[in-house]
């Protein structure tokens, strides 16, 4: 949110010292990592579900956090002595009754600091027309079942039955399959919340903007970098949209929703009259830091060679760069990962490495900034105002993320310092992570890991040299996966 504000020249509060409120915070899964990362900031989470809040409160106590408070409550009763710099309501607005929607918007205005930003996610048309079609058929079917049935699996099975009895290639069957794939990719909890909830009321963006305006707020931006530069749409199409919208931001965004078939928005709102009127500036990226886990799949090219170089993310998404300056910058970020580098420094290094001089450096500078922005739009680059403090290298006494260490006690899925959920490779890695409280030397960790392997069912435990090599490998992997603190 702060990074988006920086591109628009909006004086948003620093994430390091801000006040944050999350409405519908659940067990604090979003706020707790932030509270760990930014000890000088303060966080409040409110949710109606007492059991979820209790789980979060227990985790807060175990982590010893003093800058976060989770409480049970609702919008009609919650108040605060001081306003908040950021108010967050994710997955709430479209899934509550209309009167609660109004309370939510009014609460955001009431609780938001003069230059605060409110994040609200909500379901949108036209994309949700297709979702509603499949949702309605699943709700019809599951309403006829006996109590206690698994509504998600039963609903999916019926939608699958309908899809299988359509003529191949027809739009109806294809639409059902798209929705089934979406729900299955996100899991049962997502489908239950989004598609089987009692309330599910999408809205056209223009209608949402009007509802927000009635409560004294206004649309600020999407919380996605594609808001500034969406490479999926050609320059010709964007020019048509600009002409049709006649300079009106709300009209422009509604046209773009029609073009994209958007079904979900994650919008930022500010107090009416506070949004900057000047156009956003690409150069503002130099106030941010960049990080990327992209790695090159191309043998390193000579500095003066102009040829494409392909980079790939851990998820297999590729980015091809031809500019020597861009190639250098992406390689530097790859070497630094999971650390960040200020974009201004990255520019200086990349331009100096290739001896770029004006006017060439001006165009190369713009190309690199544009590449970083477009890569951030598809989550290949992290652009941040206050990046996490990750380990630069392996230390003699490795320190793992406190949250990840606690999560490793329960299973293989943990949260890294970039707030991403990831799965540890095996039980040995899980055991090791629980040990990384910063008090143990590498020699002590080696002894404990040797004991761990000796207790396994294998009749021939690995040699000490093998354990040593495995320990080095796993520790380095944890450092590269942003699980170790500096």
Cβ neighbours of residue 246 under 8 Å, at least 6 residues apart? none
pLDDT at residue 88 greater than cutoff 60? yes
Residue 326 pLDDT level (bands cut at 50, 70, 90) = very high
How far is the C-alpha of 470 from the C-alpha of 457, rounded, in Å?
18
CATH superfamily of this structure's domain 2-125+202-280 = Vaccinia Virus protein VP39 (3.40.50.150)
The Cβ of residue 77 has, within 10 Å, a number of other Cβ atoms equal to 7
Task: Find residue 23's DSSP bridge partners.
Answer: 46
Based on the number of CB atoms within 10 Å of its own CB, is 36 exposed (0-12), middle (13-18) or buried (19 or more)? Answer: buried
Residue 148, pLDDT > 60, answer no
Dihedral (C-alpha) 99, 254, 275, 12: value to the nearest 10 degrees? Answer: 80
**Would you list the domain boundaries of the chain?**
2-125+202-280, 127-195, 283-384, 402-480
Angle at 41 between CA 37 and CA 43, to 5 degrees: 90
Reported as a pLDDT band with limits 50, 70 and 90, residue 191 is confident
Q: How many CA atoms lie within 13 A of 71 on its CB side?
A: 12
CA dihedral of residues 462, 466, 470, 471 (deg, nearest 10):
100
- pLDDT above 60: residue 356: no
In DSSP terms, 89 is beta-bridged to 120
337/392 Cα distance (integer angstroms): 9
- Please tell me which of 2-11, 138-147, 194-203 the model is most confident about, judged by mean pLDDT: 2-11
Sheet of 295-296: strand order equals 295-296, 309-312, 318-321
Cβ–Cβ < 8 Å for 471, 463: no
Would you state the structure tokens that stand for residue 167, as one six-digit string? 């003529």
**Residue 217: which of 274, 162, 262, 163 has the closest Cα?**
274
Looking at the chain, the whole-number percentage of residues with pLDDT higher than 70 is 96
DSSP 13: P
pLDDT at 234 over 80: yes
* Mean pLDDT within 71-100: 92
CA 343/CA 210 separation, integer angstroms: 37
Confidence band of 359 (pLDDT split at 50, 70, 90): very low
Q: What value does the mean pLDDT of the chain take?
A: 92
At residue 333, the pLDDT reads 96
Mean pLDDT of 11-23: 97
Instruction: Tell which wins on pLDDT, 28 or 76.
Output: 28
Q: Which carries the bigger pLDDT value, residue 372 or residue 194? A: 372
Task: Please give the Cα distance from 12 to 137 (Å, whole number).
Answer: 44
First-to-last C-alpha distance (Å) of the chain: 25
What are the φ and ψ backbone dihedral angles of 413, each rounded to 5 degrees?
A: -90, 125
Residues 405-426 pLDDT 10s: 999 999 999 999 999 999 999 9
Q: What is the pLDDT of residue 193?
A: 86
Q: Residue 437 phi/psi, 5° resolution?
A: -100, 10
């Amino acid at each position: 949110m702060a990074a988006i504000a920086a591109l628009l020249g909006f004086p948003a509060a620093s994430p390091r010292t801000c006040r944050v409120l999350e409405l519908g915070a659940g067990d604090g899964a979003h706020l707790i990592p932030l509270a760990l990362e930014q000890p000088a900031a303060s966080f409040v989470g409110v949710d109606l579900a007492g059991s979820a809040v209790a789980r979060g409160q227990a985790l807060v106590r175990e982590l010893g956090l003093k800058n976060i408070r989770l409480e049970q409550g609702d919008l009609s009763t919650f108040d605060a002595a001081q306003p908040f710099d950021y108010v967050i309501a994710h997955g709430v607005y479209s899934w509550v009754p209309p009167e609660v929607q109004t309370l939510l918007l009014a609460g955001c205005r009431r609780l938001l600091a003069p230059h605060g930003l409110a994040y609200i996610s909500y379901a949108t048309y036209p994309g949700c027309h297709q979702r509603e079609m499949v949702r309605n058929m699943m709700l019809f079917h599951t309403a006829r079942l006996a109590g206690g049935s698994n509504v998600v699996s039963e609903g999916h099975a019926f939608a699958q039955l309908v899809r299988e009895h359509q003529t191949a290639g027809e739009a109806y069957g294809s639409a059902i399959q798209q929705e089934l794939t979406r729900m299955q990719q996100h899991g049962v909890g997502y489908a239950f919340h989004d598609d089987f909830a009692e309330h599910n009321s999408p809205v056209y963006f223009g209608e949402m903007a009007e509802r927000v305006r009635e409560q004294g707020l206004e649309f600020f931006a999407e919380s996605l970098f594609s808001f500034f530069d969406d490479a999926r749409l050609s320059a010709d199409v964007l020019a048509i949209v600009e002409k049709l919208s006649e300079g009106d931001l709300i009209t422009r965004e509604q046209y773009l929703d029609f073009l994209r078939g958007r079904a979900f928005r994650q919008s930022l709102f500010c107090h009416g009259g506070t949004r900057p009127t000047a156009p956003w500036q690409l150069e503002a990226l130099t106030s941010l830091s960049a990080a990327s886990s992209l790695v090159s799949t191309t043998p390193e090219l000579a500095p003066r060679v102009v040829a494409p170089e392909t980079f790939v993310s851990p998820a297999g998404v590729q980015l091809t760069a031809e500019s020597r300056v861009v190639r250098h910058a992406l390689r530097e970020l790859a070497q630094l990962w999971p650390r960040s580098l200020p974009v201004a420094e990255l520019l200086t290094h990349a331009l100096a490495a290739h001896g770029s001089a004006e006017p060439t450096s001006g165009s190369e500078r713009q190309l690199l900034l544009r590449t970083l922005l477009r890569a951030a739009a598809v989550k290949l680059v992290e652009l941040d105002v206050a990046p996490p403090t990750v380990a630069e290298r392996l230390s003699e006494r490795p320190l793992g993320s406190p949250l990840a260490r606690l999560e490793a006690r329960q299973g293989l899925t943990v949260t890294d310092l970039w707030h991403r959920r990831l799965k540890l490779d095996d039980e040995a890695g899980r055991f090791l992570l629980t040990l990384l409280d910063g008090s143990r030397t590498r020699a002590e960790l080696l002894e404990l890991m040797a004991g761990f392997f000796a207790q396994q069912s294998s009749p021939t435990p690995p040699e000490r040299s093998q354990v040593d090599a495995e320990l080095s490998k796993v520790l380095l992997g944890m450092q590269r996966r942003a699980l170790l603190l500096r």
